[in-house]
């Protein structure tokens, strides 16, 4: 073993000046740990400095237009098991927030990334991931497998897939997705059930109040109000000027709030208004109107009420446990269970 020391500056400077026309396998330093077992290292770097930018090993790619696969530091692994990564980073202290691996870029170019992972195969197996984060502790509810944040107005996390699901969340015992704030869906939402949960208005400290959504086989909108008829028993209800542009196939319900009497729709909706008639003058009438959406998006993305399961889902269930079936009979959610949007959505 040879040890080189220096009180200042560079201890050892080795440079490969071969023009080599970019020949592969040209190294300034090439080190091999030939031991078949034990803890052995080809190259080991260490620093005792507390100064900014200090590093045990520092690699620099000093080329403005490098070739494909070029890197300041390059690690590779021929392992056929789950162990032996190409590059490994470790933060060994039990305190502190220093990361084991950091990727950073100062580029202002489009699609610049701090860290990039690639699964470089056309047929990835189940569970493959270009970037995977995991927390192995089970004693605390806090901690995040993968954390994305943005200091400006951009996206903290973005997922995209040309033919599969852009983002998938799953949990055996808790929420598959948890959002703090408003949620915008630029498409159609499919769910097994839905509702709202709020602090109970009469006992907010001790109870929740839950309500279920109102469902319909149609893309149905609901409008209601109270109208007062005139001396002749008529009232004109004016609807928004976009009402008929949005809705079709109208249905009506009327209820007298001024005693028992006959009330009726004297004139159906036209020019975004309709007329109510009451048997008694000056009567208050509660009304409800429903319409089925026929805007451009609704017409292009009508929800099929009864849908045949695709071949991959035949004999399988969204909730097999409710039918006394084992979880092995669960539908593969990657199967094409839901109608495709009429046009591609996303970035």
pLDDT tens digits, the chain, 347 residues: what are they? 566 665 656 666 666 665 555 555 556 666 776 667 666 677 777 777 777 877 777 777 777 787 777 777 777 777 788 787 877 788 788 888 888 788 888 888 888 888 888 888 888 887 788 888 888 877 767 788 888 888 998 889 899 888 888 888 888 888 889 899 999 999 989 889 999 999 999 999 999 999 999 999 999 999 999 999 999 999 999 999 999 999 999 999 999 999 999 999 999 999 999 999 999 999 999 999 999 999 999 999 999 999 999 888 999 999 999 999 999 999 876 555 666 555 555 44
What is the model's pTM? 0.72
Please report the pLDDT score of residue 202 as a whole number: 97
Estimate to the nearest angstrom the gap between the alpha carbon of 66 and the chain centroid.
34
> For the chain, what are the domain ranges?
220-299, 309-333
Please report the pLDDT score of residue 83 as a whole number: 80
Specify which residues 277 forms β-bridges with.
234, 264
Residue 276 · residue 287 · CB < 8 Å: yes
CA dist 308 and 304 (Å) reads 10
Please report the pLDDT score of residue 300 as a whole number: 94
Please report the pLDDT score of residue 112 as a whole number: 85
Please report the pLDDT score of residue 106 as a whole number: 84
Specify which residues 291 forms β-bridges with.
221
Please report the pLDDT score of residue 347 as a whole number: 43
Specify which residues 273 forms β-bridges with.
238, 270
Q: Which residues of 268-301 are buried (b: 16+ CB within 10 A; e: fewer)?
A: ebeeeebbbbbeeeebebebebbbbbeeeebeee
Q: CA separation (Å) from 271 to 157, 243, 274, 277, 293?
A: 46, 9, 8, 18, 17
């Amino acid at each position: 073993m040879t040890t080189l020391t220096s009180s200042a500056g560079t201890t050892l400077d080795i440079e490969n000046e071969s023009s080599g026309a970019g020949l592969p396998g040209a190294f300034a330093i090439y080190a091999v740990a030939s031991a078949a077992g034990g803890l052995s290292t080809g190259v080991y770097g260490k620093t005792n400095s507390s100064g900014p930018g200090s590093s045990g090993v520092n690699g620099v790619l000093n080329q403005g237009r490098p070739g494909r696969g070029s890197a300041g530091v390059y690690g590779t692994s021929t392992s056929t098991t789950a162990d032996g990564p190409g590059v490994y980073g470790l933060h060994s202290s039990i305190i502190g927030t220093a990361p084991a691996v950091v990727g950073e870029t100062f580029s202002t170019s489009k699609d610049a990334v701090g860290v990039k992972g690639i699964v470089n195969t056309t047929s990835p197996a189940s569970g493959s991931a270009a970037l995977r984060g995991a927390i192995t502790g089970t004693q605390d509810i806090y901690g995040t497998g993968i954390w994305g944040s943005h200091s400006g107005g951009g996206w903290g996390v973005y997922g995209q897939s040309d033919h599969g699901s852009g983002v998938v969340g799953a949990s055996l015992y808790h929420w598959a997705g948890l959002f703090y704030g408003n949620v915008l869906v630029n498409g159609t939402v499919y769910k097994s059930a839905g509702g709202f949960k709020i602090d109970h208005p009469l006992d907010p400290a001790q109870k929740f109040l839950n309500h279920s959504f109102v469902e319909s086989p149609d893309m149905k909108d609901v409008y209601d109000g109270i109208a007062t008829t005139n001396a002749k028993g008529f009232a004109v209800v004016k609807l928004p000027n976009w009402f008929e542009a949005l809705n079709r196939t109208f249905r009506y319900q009327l209820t007298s709030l001024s005693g028992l009497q006959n009330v009726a729709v004297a004139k159906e909706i036209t020019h975004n208004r309709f007329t109510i008639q009451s048997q008694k003058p000056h009567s208050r009438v509660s009304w409800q109107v429903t319409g089925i959406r026929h805007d451009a998006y609704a017409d292009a993305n009508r929800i099929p009420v009864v849908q045949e399961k695709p071949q991959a889902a035949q004999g399988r269930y969204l909730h097999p446990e409710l039918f006394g079936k084992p979880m092995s009979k669960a539908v593969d959610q990657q199967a094409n269970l839901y109608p495709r949007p009429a046009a591609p959505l996303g970035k």
